[in-house]
């Protein structure tokens, strides 16, 4: 219920000036990705999974964290503030 995943493969991407295979993970969440300390732990776990599953080195992966407020997410004809 709290996690949504979108995978878009085959997109042309350049990371650190190189078009070699790479990946970008965008993580947004309410109250889970708001601090450097939280994101440090999340980052380590995500990198473990992504490097193993994608066969990429950690230098070919970038993760972007976006903290959200409950009023920024619509669900069930309202926003999360009221759910």
Burial class (CB in 10 A: 0-12, 13-18, 19+), 34: middle
CATH architecture for residues 23-82: 2-Layer Sandwich (3.30)
49 and 56 in contact (C-beta within 8 Å)?
A: no
What pLDDT does 5 receive?
Answer: 76
CB atoms within 10 A of CB 40: 9
pLDDT in tens, 7-61: 898 999 999 999 999 999 999 999 889 899 999 999 999 999 999 999 999 999 9
In the chain, what are the domain boundaries?
23-82
Q: What are phi and psi of 74, to 5 degrees?
A: -90, 140
Q: How many residues does the chain have?
A: 83
């Amino acid at each position: 219920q709290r996690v949504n995943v979108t995978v878009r493969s085959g997109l042309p991407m350049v990371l650190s000036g190189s078009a070699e295979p790479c990946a970008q993970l965008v993580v947004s969440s309410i109250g889970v990705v708001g601090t450097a300390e939280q994101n440090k732990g999340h980052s380590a776990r995500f990198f473990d999974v992504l490097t193993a599953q994608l066969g990429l080195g950690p230098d070919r992966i970038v993760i972007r964290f976006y903290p959200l407020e409950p009023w920024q997410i619509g669900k069930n004809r309202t926003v999360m503030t009221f759910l």
